[in-house]
Structure 1
Amino acid sequence: MTSSSTSSSIRPSALPSVLVTGASSGIGAVYADRFARRGHDLVLVARDVARMETLAARLRQAHQVQVEVLQADLTQHNDVAAVEARLRDDARIGVLINNAGMAQTGGFVQQSAQSVEQLIALNVTAVTRLAAAIAPRLAAAGGGSIINIGSVVGLAPELGMTVYGATKAFVLFLSQGLTVELASKGVYVQAVLPAATRTEIWERVGIDVNTLPEVMGVDELVDAALVGYDRRELVTIPPLSVAERWPALDGARQGLISDLRQAHAAERYRPQA
């Protein structure tokens, strides 16, 4: 893992710094741009140093903010540990954007153990470890935010992206659980659930994004997610056209929980005399 510092001529912002993973392109790069526009200093994390340096230079010049670049492969234990240390120790960082993620092609029976392990390492383990690294400090300070980028695929096993969808279902559950634990301590946790978005994730798994029937632009996705962020939504689903669908689904879930009777099996599962 390597890092590069900001220009010393730019004064630190009074706003909290924002650490963005997967910041070299796509959703992460647009989040970096939008928070820089708001006056936040940034820490960019990704594997591609050259692209991050180009983005950092543009943001410093355009918005007069400090931007640091940290090279890290979040599927690698040592790199994750280095980013964890930064999140634990740097009190200036008040917002974590857990954006780095990957997909994979093929059905479950075609995927190798190695590819599944790598997917889970990035989409689940790194997301959890980085949130766990910053959460105690934010809770102690009484404020801060964690933004976790999930996917609507995590709601839809019918789409057939079994392991990827499972990792994104995990991200949603993690975000909801963190809200239960941290909201009373002043920490805001947002789960953002995009649908198909025009990013490089498709090219990396060998899919031509232009063959997909409906794809949202990345700028539109992030701008919509930030509307939800400013409203302090717990779950933001930018492509969901009928807003009432999510509270109805969540209400049905809570109703199911209220109907659980833990001491005995339901009548339909009891052996017949």
Structure 2
Amino acid sequence: MNDATNLGTAVVTGATGGVGALYAQGLADRGYDLLLVGRQEKALKELAEKISKSSGRTVNIAAHDLSNAGELNTLASRLSGDSSVSLLANIAGTSSFSPFIKLGSDDIAQTIAINVTALTQLSHAVAPGFVERGKGTIVNFASVLAFRPWAEFNVYNATKAYVVMLSQSLQADLGEKGVLVQVVAPPATATPFWANAGFNVENLPAKAVMKSEDLVSAALVGLDNGESWVLPSLGDVSVWEAFQSARTELVKSMMNGTPAERYTKG
């Protein structure tokens, strides 16, 4: 352990998932102590022991179901009162692959609770401390599906679009206060997420699916570089820049109090 390298405590939700565990390891290797958040206490303890042994960092756990309002409030209160927290990685996510009219109400509620409510409330818990200290990082994992809806991932699509829009608002609000709000938007990634959602990832073209190790490696490089947007599979950044520019022009064109001619009677 190198005591000279201490970047504070990084909180990682969804820590026992394939991406979360790898990302947590990468943060520890960079000098962060960790608070690992997940539902399965046994798995959290095993991961904490593994990362602590390999990195020499202090690794604590918090076993919570983030879809449970009471447990979420408990975690949020803990984070808001912990001045050692310097990074929050909102990686926990869930979905159900189903036509909208066949989607269960419990599945809808859980997807929104974890992907939207938990991410928002935990970000809200750490943000005041980050602003007060003039530094801190919030990493929100979104998805390429935030930009390209897939019918059977209907609610998931919407929650990830929310993550993008909230993050962009926070970038404008908190960026000048020393807080980095970063969005990671991966393509389909080979993790248990797909099976849990009820979809076989092998049905996708092999070239469209990224290895979890590659995703995490790219995400951590983006973190090292302090990037606001990490697009692991996008080779030509000018495509993203054109998208952002087109969106800006769209909004400018719509900020007009006069009805468009096609909507006026002749």
TM-score between the two structures when normalised by the length of structure 2: 0.94
Quick one: which amino acid aligns to residue 187 of structure 1? V
Q: CA RMSD in A?
A: 1.8
Q: How does 1:2-21 map to 2 (within 5 A)?
A: 14-21=6-13
- Residue of structure 1 aligned with 2:141, choices 142, 145, 149: 149
Unaligned runs of 5+ in 1: 1-8
Question: What's the CA shift for 1:240?
Answer: 1.6
Task: Verify: 1:60 aligned to 2:47, yes or no.
Answer: no
Q: How does 1:23-172 map to 2 (within 5 A)?
A: 23-158=15-150, 160-172=152-164
- Paired positions, count: 264
Secondary structure of 1:259's counterpart equals: helix
The answer to whether the 8 A contact 1:12-1:66 is kept is no
Question: What's the CA shift for 1:207?
Answer: 2.7
Aligned twin of 2:223: 229
For residues 158 and 14 of structure 1, what CA distance do their matches in structure 2 show? 42
For residues 34 and 14 of structure 1, what CA distance do their matches in structure 2 show? 14
1:120-159 deviations in whole A, cap 9, x for unaligned? Answer: 0111111111111111110111110000000001111255
**For structure 1, which segment, 206-215 or 184-193, has the greater mean C-alpha deviation from structure 2 after superposition?**
206-215
For residues 167 and 202 of structure 2, what CA distance do their matches in structure 1 show? 31
Identity %: 38
Question: What's the CA shift for 1:13?
Answer: 6.1
Aligned twin of 1:244: 238
Q: 1:84 to 1:12 in 2, by over 3 A?
A: farther
1:6-33 deviations in whole A, cap 9, x for unaligned? Answer: xxx9979631210000001211111110
For residues 19 and 97 of structure 2, what CA distance do their matches in structure 1 show? 20
For residues 12 and 101 of structure 1, what CA distance do their matches in structure 2 show? 34
Unaligned runs of 5+ in 2: none
Quick one: which amino acid aligns to residue 260 of structure 1? M
Please identify runs of 4+ aligned residues in structure 1 that moved more than 3 A.
9-13
For residues 222 and 96 of structure 1, what CA distance do their matches in structure 2 show? 15
For residues 259 and 202 of structure 2, what CA distance do their matches in structure 1 show? 50
For residues 61 and 2 of structure 2, what CA distance do their matches in structure 1 show? 15
TM-score between the two structures when normalised by the length of structure 1: 0.92
The answer to whether the 8 A contact 1:196-1:216 is kept is yes
Aligned twin of 2:250: 256
Question: What's the CA shift for 1:265?
Answer: 1.6
